[in-house]
Structure formats: C-alpha cells, structure tokens
Amino acid sequence: MIFDTHAHYDDEQFHEDRDELLGAVHDGGVGTIVNVGSDVASWEDIRTLVGKYPFIYGAAGVHPDDVGELDEEKFSRLKEILQEEKFVAVGEIGLDYYWDNESHEIQKAWFIRQLDLARELGMPVIIHSRDAAADTFEIMKEHAEGLDGVIHCFSYSVELAREYVKRGFYIGIGGVVTFKNSRKLKEVVVDTPLESLVLETDCPYLAPVPNRGKRNSSLNLTYVAEEIASLKGVTYEEVVKTTEENARRLYHMEP
C-alpha cells in the first residue's frame, strides 16, 4: 500500500469534504498517512486526526515561516505532544529563505532547538529547506549527527542528495517530479537508490500532472510512483513496496 509520508489534512482546504476524502483513500491504494505540523495551531488539529483515523499518524513541529510564534511555553507543549501515542516525528522544521517571513537568525535558532528536541526524544525529523541549501546543510552537519529523517520536498542538486543519503536521510519525492520542468529532481530520482526515497504529497499543495494546479491528496501518489518507476526502470509495484518499507523505517514503525 502507498505510504504518504507528508500530508496536511488539517488544512482549511479540506474542511468541506475531509471525512469523505479520507474515507476513500484506502480503496485508492493508500495504506498509511503521516500528517505533518506546520504551526502551533496545527498540533491540536493533528491530535484530533490521529485519534479519529487508525491509518493517520502525526508529526509536530513549527515550519520556519512560523517560528516567530514559538516561545518556551509553546516549546514545552510541543515536547508533551510529541510523546503522545501515534506521534512519530518532529516536523516540519528547517529554513525557508524564499518567503523570509522570519529573520534567518530566528529560523536557525528554533531549527536547532527542534533538532535537539528530536535527539532528546529519539525521534526522526522532517526537514523543510527552501532557497537555504548551504545553511541547512551546515546546521545538519553540526546538530543532526546521529539523527535520522527525511529531506522533505527535495529541490537541490544530485550532489547534495548524495550527502544527505550518506548521512542516513531519506529524500522526499512528491508531485513536482511529474512536472516537465523538473529536470533536476528527475536526475536526483535516477541517481538516488530506491531504498532512500519516500513518497509524499505535501497536500493540499503540489499536485502532480495530470492534476497540477488542483488541490492535492494522497490519491495522487499513484502518478508520483509511476513517474519514479519510469525514471528508474522498475515496476510500479516495486516502487510502492520499497517506499512503504522505507517510510516505516524512517518513522520507526513496525512493518
């Protein structure tokens, strides 16, 4: 079954038909979903989702665009939530120099704090990095030694992907790989061992071709898996099976 390692079903774009959509994913070949936190408000919504749906697990953290809302009290609450049943990762955390909502120094400080929290709790991390390749890698080298996790929505070079894989990290591949102009990501998929790739939607964002521009969902991962299979010259079934096994290792989940 397909394992969606990164979704945002707490997003308001799902408010009207969330239950209907999530009720249909299993028939669409999707077996497991990790719903990922982005801001403080998302944590409670994710707690509700993981309590309601047996196949949904949670991650909690604060996206770099929103780290300005963190303080010591909220950080303590984050630690409490991450120790609850069905929470499997710290994320998404990292650096975003594209939107630059927060100063680089504040982003870096809370990124490091959340990496340290993951180490303390023995949890994997979900890394967001946009237009911040060098600083992300420097922080990861210094503060993520011994941690495992995934570089979500990977958008950098083949060489950098190799460095992260060498350090035991997975590379998250979503709808962008189906875009005609995604030559660099296609090269990363070809170069990276299938055993180091995981499937993700980042839904409701980044829907693959043929649904590009529409609201994304886990059901669209069939197109991503087909594209990976084509690029790597393997079967669709092998992609789904291997990426599911990878995701379970990533999130320390029993097979």
Question: What is the CB neighbour count within 10 angstroms for residue 95?
Answer: 24
Q: Provide the b/e sequence for 191-209 (b: ≥16 CB within 10 Å).
A: bbebebbbbbbbbbebbbb
Q: What is the pLDDT of residues 147-199, one digit of tens each?
A: 999 999 999 999 999 999 999 999 999 999 999 999 999 999 999 999 999 99
Residue 143: phi, psi to the nearest 5? -120, -5
If you average pLDDT over every residue of the chain, what do you get? 97
Q: What is the pLDDT of residues 105-142, one digit of tens each?
A: 999 999 999 999 999 999 999 999 999 999 999 999 99
pTM: 0.98
Question: Do 95 and 129 touch, CB atoms closer than 8 A?
Answer: yes
Of 163, 129, 136, 124, nearest in space to 250 by CA: 124
Q: What is the pLDDT of residues 196-225, one digit of tens each?
A: 999 999 999 999 999 999 999 999 999 999
